[in-house]
Structure 1
Amino acid sequence: MINKDVISLSTKEFLGNLKNFFDKYFGDDAQKKIDLMEYLPEDKWLEIKKQGLLAPFLPAEYGGRTPSQKELLEVLRLAGHYGVPVTLRTGIEGALVIQPLTKYAKKELIEKVLPFIFEGEGGGLAITEPDSSGSAIAKEMLSYYEFLENGNIYIKAKKYWQGNSQSDFLLVAAKEKKGEKMEKSINLLFVPRKNIKFTPIKSEGLKAVRYAVNEIEGEIPAENLILLSEVPRKNLREFQDLFIRSRLQFIGMTHGIIENVHNNVTKYIRNKIDFIMHELHEIDSRRAVSKVLYDFVCKTVSPDKPVNDKLMEANIVKAVASEYAYEAARIAQKLMGAKGYESGHPISNIVLDIRPFTIFEGPNDMLFAEVFDQFSKTSIEEKNNGITLNKGMTIYERFISDSRFVFENGKESLKAVSENIYNFINIYKLSDINPVKKVFAGKILSKLFVLGRIHNDAYTEKFLVREINKDILDFNY
């Protein structure tokens, strides 16, 4: 299914080969450049997949490459240099389809589905429902399946905002129904196109990645069921693991996009006017923060190891990375003047397509609030060591006790970096933070997480201190 020659290439050669194919269809000098404001032609996309685009997501036993988180993120980063839809579709098929499929499905089903991905139009992961907002795991999920007397499964679901809708299949999240009772645990089901009625969504951007309302109903073979765990109480944990991994790997997409923004804007800036240079530094600072998060994920995540102990870190990575990529794109569009508003201009496309990244997989404000919630509870490591937390602790006391917040850059303490921030988090106790202030406290903590991992970069450190002080003003408003 994949060109075997590319499997044995070194990482450098492998990425170079992919770049050649990206250039062929999306590069500035492409003879028949694909319009990313329209759906990606399946024949062209399939040709890129044949060159190993998704191989880092695929276990070696099924024809993929040796597992490497760095290589996986590098593919997403490289794809981001050619447009938001290019890296997004790579992420959808790799992180949201191949990874859960090959981790949880039985071998027979895996071998049945992979040809749809590597020889057909692929598929997507269907979770979000129009009748229960964006709540994926909560009891509001209405999608269900039930076993029939003939041994098949009947499934009924309504899903929307799934990338790759209208493709060959969807992996559908649903709960088992027994009589009138709906189980709490969630599993996935492989549902082919014939069981799905599509109503396309007219989105403002991301037109190259098809979205639709998907009405799913009918009988499917029982072997199409993908149990996330044989133990029902563990299913939600595995379902959560899927999202944690996806949010952590989000940084590959956003980092490539923010580099793309920088590369594009510097092509057009000619005059070194002071304020323009200031705005370029603003883009560069956000790119530097993104690089810190990118390196963190490369260092601490492995494709073949669980990540359910990294929920707080995943929310930080996704929220900060997408926020800064969007802000960088908006600054670039402003610097381009009227040119940046032209339909089809690279910067115009990026601004339009990147904004949903701050909403998809959890709106960022919600994720920042969750960061504070996760910070104010015992971590998995602390639970295993029998440690409990006192809600009367100040934020600072919790900060220095939490091993997830470290200063790797040689600074002795937070006070040595910023006395103002140090004093602020010494004032408030964990129990003082109301639901609104959780959002701003989460923003502060997320940037402190990055701040402690900056090495020998006084400019980016100064930038983050400024950003945290802005969040403190919002917190106090």
Structure 2
Amino acid sequence: MSQTIGHVDFKTYIDDFAKHLRELFRNEYDFNKISLNRDLPADFKAKIMAKNPLAVAIPELHGGRGVNVKECLGVLSAASYESLSLSLMFGINIALFLEPLAKYGQYSVQERIFKKFLEDKAMGGLMITEKLYGSDALNMKTSYQETEGGYKINGEKHWQGLSGAADFWLVTARKANANGDLVRDIDFFVTDDNISDQHIPMVERYNNFGLFAIPYGINQIDITVPEDQKLQPESTGLKLMLDMLHRSRLQFPGMGLGFIKRLMDESLEHCQNRIVGGAPLANLDAVKYQLSRIQAAYTICSGMCHYSSSNSGIDKDLASSAVEANTLKALITDLMQESAQIALQLAGANGYRLDHFAGRAVIDSRPFQIFEGSNEMLYGQIADAILKQMRKSKETSLVNFLANHPNASESIHYFANQLNFTIDSAVSQRDAVTLGRMIARVISFQFVLNMNGYNSQLVELTRQHMASDIAMFVGQYMSANTSNPIFEYQDNSDWSNFA
């Protein structure tokens, strides 16, 4: 290894890493200009990786720091303070490759691949998504058949971060029976792109709207892997996938924290120094509201990191943790986008430049609300899970049910007046999404309350913003909006005929 970090205490390591990134991004390179180009320059990337940041997700047995979630979140946060693209690159490697390999991979494969990460600064990714089956992973068509000593895998994947750039992949496929039918379960295979039989070419590169540092495209799969490169699920491949995806969603706040903190720091400084009408912009009441929204997002994200650090390790089985995982992923990515929009607005015309941090932040944070499950889908799943539990317990009062939920029992009292209504009939999909948005805020505020000794002023302003949000969503829920689009809308819809 170029640098042994296993015995360096984490505070020393992360402080050094953050300083290293700041020097690279702001002094040695002008990242605001580099970020307008596709991919990171090779020498720039090499200097970033010289500190072995991915060692936090490698077991000590294999020379890493031990897959400690607090450390993984710290690396993601340090990276996102400078670049959301870089943090996502690390997030893909940590949550979607290294952690599942550490938990489900065979020792011989772990030993070889982890060594490549530590010594050669290799990178890995995950291939699930297919063109016709985005979030409908259970219907994927990539298939495999057993061969002598291994597996033959065929199919096509797309929208994988690091397409054409990763050294290793986790590829998902369904077993093909003798008659060609695909079984329902899903299996995972490790591939080594440097071995010709396992090489997965990117046959088309996408012109992605943001996150320019990360290549995306269409990947054609026609490979053969040895049998020891199949992950070993504890029960089914489906549960392995849920465990992995829920762990990834629970660690999204690591990417969110540094990103939101940078937006907060930049916006606070700008509004204190920008003079309007002889006084700082920060003196305006509407601006105070906007700044405090970003601070509430920062506080919620901090509570999420605190929760995740104790509840998303590879020693945990997260297959059934959908409510918590979906809550963290959906809410923090919504707050990331909102914080970026506020920062852009406060920055004025300058913020609209592609090479301004706020301008890039709006574009780069937007897909976070879409990938790994669109937020509307996740909020709906949160509500569906809670409503199912309510029906099972024969409880119709939302506030009463949440008062007995382990991750809402303390926070619900702050929002009891708004949520004091009954749900005694079927809920439409659109209303389920709205319910999910409310529930996610109640649960997330409890994560804030669990940080004993955390800044009480930040906690209070966060409570006020969560209460305002919930009141707004209750109004939306109670409005009984059943409007549907009119596809043949042309009749009597041209205003000029009525002028």
TM-score (norm. length: structure 1): 0.89
What residue number does 1:30 align with? 28
What residue number does 2:221 align with? 216
Give me the identity figure in percent: 25
Whole-angstrom distance in 2 between the partners of 1:450 and 1:104? 30
Q: Judge which range, 60-69 or 314-323, deviates more.
A: 60-69
What residue number does 2:162 align with? 164
- The structure 2 residue matched to 1:432, chosen from 426, 437, 441, is 426
In structure 2, list runs of 5 or more residues that go unmatched.
Answer: 274-279, 450-455, 480-499
What residue number does 1:445 align with? 439
Q: Residues 418 and 147 of structure 1: is their aligned pair in 2 closer, same or farther, counting only changes over 3 Å?
A: closer
What residue number does 1:316 align with? 327
Q: Residues 353 and 336 of structure 1: is their aligned pair in 2 closer, same or farther, counting only changes over 3 Å?
A: same
- The structure 2 residue matched to 1:292, chosen from 293, 303, 316, is 303
Give the Å deviation of 1:331.
0.7
Whole-angstrom distance in 1 between the partners of 2:56 and 2:363? 29
RMSD across aligned positions (CA):
2.2
What residue number does 1:45 align with? 45
What residue number does 2:398 align with? 395
What residue number does 2:252 align with? 250
After TM superposition, the structure 1 = structure 2 runs for residues 16-415 of structure 1, keeping only pairs within 5 Å, are 16-26=15-25, 28-31=26-29, 33=31, 35-37=34-36, 38-118=38-118, 119=120, 121-136=122-137, 138=138, 140-148=139-147, 150-167=148-165, 168-179=167-178, 180-193=180-193, 194=196, 195-198=199-202, 199-229=204-234, 231=235, 234-269=236-271, 270=273, 271=280, 272-274=282-284, 275-378=286-389, 389-391=392-394, 393-407=396-410, 414=413
Whole-angstrom distance in 1 between the partners of 2:404 and 2:200? 50
Whole-angstrom distance in 2 between the partners of 1:434 and 1:445? 16
- Match of 1:147, SS? strand
Q: Is this contact kept in 1: 2:72–2:94, CA < 8 A?
A: no
TM-score (norm. length: structure 2): 0.85
Whole-angstrom distance in 1 between the partners of 2:91 and 2:29? 26
Whole-angstrom distance in 1 between the partners of 2:85 and 2:402? 38
What residue number does 1:421 align with? 418
Q: Judge which range, 337-346 or 318-327, deviates more.
A: 337-346
In structure 1, list runs of 5 or more residues that go unmatched.
Answer: 380-387
Give the Å deviation of 1:116.
4.5
Q: Residues 422 and 345 of structure 1: is their aligned pair in 2 closer, same or farther, counting only changes over 3 Å?
A: closer
Q: Kindly provide the amino acid, as one letter, of the partner of residue 70 in structure 2.
A: K
- Match of 2:264, SS? helix
What residue number does 1:8 align with? 7
Q: Kindly provide the amino acid, as one letter, of the partner of residue 161 in structure 1.
A: W
Whole-angstrom distance in 1 between the partners of 2:370 and 2:43? 30
- Match of 2:465, SS? helix
CA distances 1:414-447 after superposition (whole Å, capped 9, x unpaired): 2xx3453142xx3323x43222211001111111
Q: Kindly provide the amino acid, as one letter, of the partner of residue 133 in structure 1.
A: G
Q: Is this contact kept in 2: 1:158–1:214, CA < 8 A?
A: yes
Q: Kindly provide the amino acid, as one letter, of the partner of residue 435 in structure 2.
A: A
Give the Å deviation of 1:261.
1.0
Q: Is this contact kept in 2: 1:244–1:311, CA < 8 A?
A: yes
Q: Residues 351 and 364 of structure 1: is their aligned pair in 2 closer, same or farther, counting only changes over 3 Å?
A: same
What residue number does 1:385 align with? none
CA distances 1:242-290 after superposition (whole Å, capped 9, x unpaired): 0010000011001111111112223322223413222212221222222
Give the Å deviation of 1:407.
0.5
- Match of 1:191, SS? strand
